[in-house]
Amino acid sequence: MEDYSRYMPAVVAFLNEVNASHKLDLKIVPGFNYPILDPGKDSVGYKIRRQSILSRIMSLNVDTSRFEEKDGRKILNHETKTKIVLKIEEFWCGNDERRHIPVDV
C-alpha cells in the first residue's frame, strides 16, 4: 500500500521555493487530513492559501505520477513545478479575484 504521507514534504518544499522566488507567503491550510485523496484518481490533494490573504484558497491536486524519487524522498518533477507556478502567478500575482481555484496537474 502506498505511503501517501511521503508526498507532503515535497509539496511543502515546493511552496517554500515559490515563496522565496515570488515573495509570497503560501502555506498549506491547517485543519485537513493531508493528503486529501480522491478515490477516483491516483492523486494527492492540498488546500493552499496565503497567510496574508486567508479568504482565498487554491485546491491543488497532483497526480502521483508527477512526483519523482530522489535520495529516498518524493519530489515534484520540473514540468509539474512549472505548471503549478503558472497557476500560482495567475491566481495570487495577477488580476484573478476569485476566492477559490481548483488546480489539477
pLDDT tens sequence across 47-94: 999 999 999 999 999 999 999 999 999 999 999 999 999 999 999 998
Question: Which domains, from first to last, does the chain contain?
Answer: 4-104 (3.10.450)
Quick check: pTM over 0.85?
Answer: yes
Q: State yes or no: cis peptide before 35, omega within 30 of 0.
A: yes
**What would the DSSP string read from start to end of 3-69?**
-GGGGHHHHHHHHHHHHHHHT--EEEPTTS-SSEEPTTSSEEEEEEEETTEEEEEEEEEEEGGGEEE
Q: The C-alpha cell of 42 is what?
A: 491516483
Q: Give per-residue pLDDT as tens, 28-55.
A: 999 999 999 988 889 999 999 999 999 9
The neighbour count for residue 12, using CB atoms within 10 Å, is 15
Q: Cα separation of 23 and 46, whole Å?
A: 21
Model confidence at 6, in pLDDT bands (50, 70, 90)? very high
Give me the residue label for grid cell 518524493: 74
